[in-house]
Structure 1
């Protein structure tokens, strides 16, 4: 039971209640004892001091025996205390029962009275076999203590009364503890119940069942947890759907080139290699489809490495302007099947930055390839770059079909390909976003459906620090 939240909650509340009740019980017991015993002590002390004061004022010069006889004869009727007159040695001259004793009384109250003060004593009396309370006051004649007047009462009734009250308080405390535990059990059930429901739903989600929904019963942390669980459920459901769509897309992308490769391979095997034109055509198709497979596999490998955080950028000083001009030459001379023309507008000077050159090239190749693929036949793609505020903004703009508004925010997510019917794994942009992020930049996608799409990459530039002679150092790529 202690392994559950309810068990720990009950234990902690029980310990807290027990500690509070015990503390209150001790305070109550101390207060009751102090009140009863102080009240009884004040009453006895008042009687003893009053009797001694009257004797000291009106019987000065009398002997101790005469004073004792007078005091005992004039006691208040019904006096419940035992009254004793003691000589300076502490022996009983006479008491209220008419007895005397040669046994010396040496309790604290008597010693104080012998020194001229009023003393009190609470303790066990061997003579009476019970606990007593005693008050002693000095008997004075001409400024000299000649004896002690001692009032003593049995303290047993006081102890019995105090014990009875403490017993009642213990019973009430036990009842409060039982009620507290019962209420704690109810509270624990109200807290643990929704948590158990959320646990059941999370287990269903773990098995792949995303149909279960958590019900927000309370506007508290548990309710917030239910909302978070529902949000996670929705995200996992979307991820599961995107993953299934991705698998379907990748399967299709793999099947198409494999089918072409297999078909042309069988054609070449059956038909032999006599027809040179057919052989060249078949080998060209096989090479092209193999390149597609290699690109797809490389995308999958790159994406898995980025997801696992296993790829590190090898940053070196590079000139982004030089890289973009190389790409311009590459696409201008190689051409493309769709007849799309690439127009570039780049600044004259270098754009210095620290970056992984191969990874940056992978990003811009992917963006330009996508722009060409989604452009109209014989359309145009514009590659522009501009520097401002120690940043470079590179834009790739096409005049293709554009991206629907419902797909725009999701483009670039893992496993998301969008509604386009064009071939592709849908991983290229996700990988590009990760590469740009690792370089301290970001990718922004703007699109109008039916008009075209613009992808802007923002990357930080570096400023060359001046050398000791006050002149800026020559960039590493110009050495």
Structure 2
């Protein structure tokens, strides 16, 4: 019985079988008690009544005379066998008119000889017939002289009780069979959805992430099926994102490697004799190498976030210094692309408790994306404001914007937008993780064709009153 189905059927069936057997036993006992109790009570009543009558109205008769008097006064409708016995238990006369001389020493006779009413239910020593016998003492004056014994056969009673018990047993067997059928149905309702979940899980283990478990019933197992299907959908989505990411990263890695290899072969074949071509090649190799380093660093950061190993080196710092550095760092790029790059900072310090390098990484990534997607002649602005103990830095551009269907997913890991300029799909996800580690907020707003703005919110290390003293 390794399966749940077989165990459910067996245990449920055994419990019902025990209950039915118990009820059958109680039913048999009740029927037996009723039939035999009624027959015994009726026999005792008739025997006691007739014995009292004989002892009262035949007081002067000897035992043999009493026996004849009893036979003469027995009702013709009396179905019990009547016997008169002496004090030794010997039958003097019976209701059939025979003097058998049989010696009867059953418990009822022994009780009657001692002057008490006796009852016997059992088998006769001679015929082994099951009988019910009631014996009462006969008196002569104040002495006990004999026994008056009423006997009826108990075989018809046993037959009637057994017949009723058989009917009850048949009903019980039907109940047990019905219970087993119901337990099979109940086990099927429980086990089949679990088997569906198992089969779906096996298919997923084999790589079929489209497998789903059908929801048969609206119960706990149905809820489990919904949860499983949700998990399967998420795994399938993540698997697709992962595959897209691998494809994207492979492409991102192949492009700089191709450039490096091409220029390396060009420089080798040229023998480094042309200084201008050599410098151009070295510049390309240097830029593509930086690009490769950036991709590798993103992968390493992602791995740290996934394993929970990302640690922050917190210190008190003025965020204006980082933003000023970013403005200087991207100023040349802005000139090259003829982009209006603006920086608006308050005069008061923007003190935060954070990791300088990680925060710098966030704003480098945001500005790099802004320059990547902003066309020539566009605008990029970085503004910082502080209010109620919170610092908000907004990086806005007038670039191509984000497609509405992509906007809810741009901060998800491995997600690549529809733009051909999209990178590895990890940059914004890593930025969001870093800001959340600083107990801050990260919000992306965009309208396709009108640009994108990303708001980074961080807690100030000092209250707003201390950051912005009254002037």
Deviations 1:299-342 (CA, angstroms, capped at 9, x unpaired): 112223323x24153565x33xx252231122122225244525
Aligned match for 1:328, one of 310, 323, 328: 323
Cα distance change on mapping 1:302 and 1:149 into 2, 3 Å: farther
Distance 1:227 1:175 in 2: 39
Counterpart of 1:420? 419
Partner-residue secondary structure (3-state), 2:163: helix
Counterpart of 1:298? 297
Cα distance change on mapping 1:249 and 1:150 into 2, 3 Å: same
Cα distance change on mapping 1:446 and 1:125 into 2, 3 Å: farther
User: Which consecutive unaligned segments of at least 5 residues does structure 2 have?
Assistant: 464-471
Cα distance change on mapping 1:285 and 1:160 into 2, 3 Å: same
1:347/1:386 contact within 8 Å kept: no
Are 1:348 and 2:348 counterparts? yes
Partner-residue secondary structure (3-state), 1:409: helix
Give the drift of 1:181: 4.1
User: Which consecutive unaligned segments of at least 5 residues does structure 1 have?
Assistant: 465-479
1:124/1:132 contact within 8 Å kept: yes
Matches within 5 A, 1:465-476: none
Are 1:379 and 2:379 counterparts? yes
1:436/1:443 contact within 8 Å kept: yes
Counterpart of 1:76? 75
2:82/2:149 contact within 8 Å kept: yes
Give the drift of 1:25: 2.5
Cα distance change on mapping 1:407 and 1:120 into 2, 3 Å: farther
Deviations 1:48-91 (CA, angstroms, capped at 9, x unpaired): 2322343455556776666555444422324333435567x774
267-276 vs 327-336, which deviates more? 267-276
Matches within 5 A, 1:75-94: 75-84=74-83, 91=89, 94=92
Distance 1:52 1:232 in 2: 90
RMSD: 4.1
Counterpart of 1:164? 163
Cα distance change on mapping 1:440 and 1:62 into 2, 3 Å: farther
Are 1:134 and 2:133 counterparts? yes
Distance 2:123 2:346 in 1: 109
Cα distance change on mapping 1:209 and 1:419 into 2, 3 Å: same
422-431 vs 238-247, which deviates more? 238-247
Counterpart of 2:29? 30
Distance 2:110 2:233 in 1: 88
Distance 1:128 1:409 in 2: 98
Give the drift of 1:293: 0.7
Give the drift of 1:251: 1.6
Give the drift of 1:160: 3.2
2:326/2:363 contact within 8 Å kept: no
Give the drift of 1:250: 1.1
Q: What TM-score comes out, normalization by structure 2 length?
A: 0.78
325-334 vs 93-102, which deviates more? 93-102
Distance 1:346 1:24 in 2: 89
Counterpart of 2:260? 261
Counterpart of 1:470? none
Counterpart of 1:14? 13
Count of equivalent residues = 454
Distance 1:29 1:63 in 2: 46
Matches within 5 A, 1:72-151: 72-84=71-83, 91=89, 94=92, 96=94, 98-99=99-100, 104-106=105-107, 111=111, 120-137=119-136, 149-151=148-150
448-457 vs 172-181, which deviates more? 172-181
Distance 2:442 2:141 in 1: 111
Cα distance change on mapping 1:37 and 1:160 into 2, 3 Å: same
Distance 1:182 1:203 in 2: 30
Cα distance change on mapping 1:294 and 1:81 into 2, 3 Å: same
Deviations 1:455-479 (CA, angstroms, capped at 9, x unpaired): 3344566799xxxxxxxxxxxxxxx
Give the drift of 1:100: 5.6
Counterpart of 2:269? 270
Deviations 1:218-252 (CA, angstroms, capped at 9, x unpaired): 65666656655555554444333322322222122
Distance 2:396 2:65 in 1: 129
Cα distance change on mapping 1:351 and 1:33 into 2, 3 Å: farther
Distance 1:349 1:145 in 2: 128
Counterpart of 1:245? 244
2:390/2:460 contact within 8 Å kept: yes
Partner-residue secondary structure (3-state), 2:416: coil
Counterpart of 1:473? none
Give the drift of 1:104: 4.8
